[in-house]
Chain A
Amino acid sequence: MQPLASFLCGLIFGAGLIISGMTQPAKVLGFLDIFGRWDPTLAFVMAGALVLSSVGYWLARHQRRPVIAAQHLWPNKTDIDRPLVVGSVLFGLGWGLAGLCPGPALVNLASLLPRVFVFVAAMMAGMSVLDLWKRRVSSAIAIENAALANSDG
């Protein structure tokens, strides 16, 4: 059941990106171009999305558990740390260069344009490299902590 529900959510999400015009990099760049002919589309898309997601999340907070899952997995981080800031700057650089973010990039795979495939391949490489690096750092910290713990003995 869970895969079916998430497939349908992906379908609705993709339909929303297409109908709103957000799969077109030109419209995203038009929104970001506040010194040129500004295109306010993205602001309206976010407003529409935030109304429904806020209501949905409010309802979810009053659910004992999700309809077909054991629990709600809400993100639990609250601190504004370095990775959040650095990551968001890097993301903004790439987003501003191409006018594509992960959702629209995946939807645009259906265009079969080689350029979209290059973007998505580079994006997945970036994600994988970062996750591998984070894992190495965290295991190095674990080894260091273990060594420190041992040295106290």
Chain B
Amino acid sequence: MSAFDPISALIGGGLIGLASALLMLFNGRIAGISGILGGALMMSAGDKLWRLSFIVGLIAAPIIAGLLGHPLPEPQMSTNWLLIAVAGLLVGLGARHGGGCTSGHGVCGIARLSARSIVATAIFMVTAIAVVAITRHGFGG
């Protein structure tokens, strides 16, 4: 894991904010990844093309970065396959039921000063902090 680097964190965050701003200014859409992906997966959603294009862009980013000599750092993930599958399922279910994820609520929603998004972000942050506290430090376990 790389050390804390506030400058690249701010620049990277700025790009995320810029992409969210441009998607609203040009396409009139919220840059919530779970909303974009969930809509693309729904059988009836009639506006699949811009959704799929956004997802292709997301996946193309590391490929282009790699071609430019900046390979994607390999994600360090748990070796427990069941845990990975359960976590993925919970993220998918939760993001769709709660109406958004870290991008849709955490960035776009807070930028709109939406009370729903501020509450959602607080809830999933506190929940995830509790999960890490239990899995890493065994609190309450």
Contacts and interface: CB of A to CB of B under 8 A. Distances in A.
Whether A associates with B in a native complex is: yes
Interface string B24-62: 111111110110011001100000011111111111111
Interface in B66-103: 66, 70, 72-78, 81, 83-99, 101-103
B103 to A, nearest CB: 5
A80 B34 CA distance: 19
Contacts of A72: 24, 28
A147 interface: no
Given A46-B106, A88-B127, A113-B75, A6 B97 contact: no
Closest 8 CB pairs of A and B: A56-B21, A10-B57, A87-B98, A20-B12, A126-B92, A48-B13, A14-B61, A92-B127
Interface of B: 1-2, 4-6, 8-31, 33-34, 37-38, 41-42, 49-66, 70, 72-78, 81, 83-99, 101-103, 105-112, 114-116, 119-121, 123-133, 135-137, 139
A141 interface: no
A5 B4 CA distance: 32
A97 B37 CA distance: 21
B24 A56 contact: yes
A111 B24 contact: no
A66 B13 contact: no
B8 A21 contact: yes
Contact of A50 (B22, B28, B85, B107): B107
B96 A130 contact: yes
A99 to B, nearest CB: 8
Contact of A10 (B24, B61, B72, B83): B61
B98 A47 contact: no
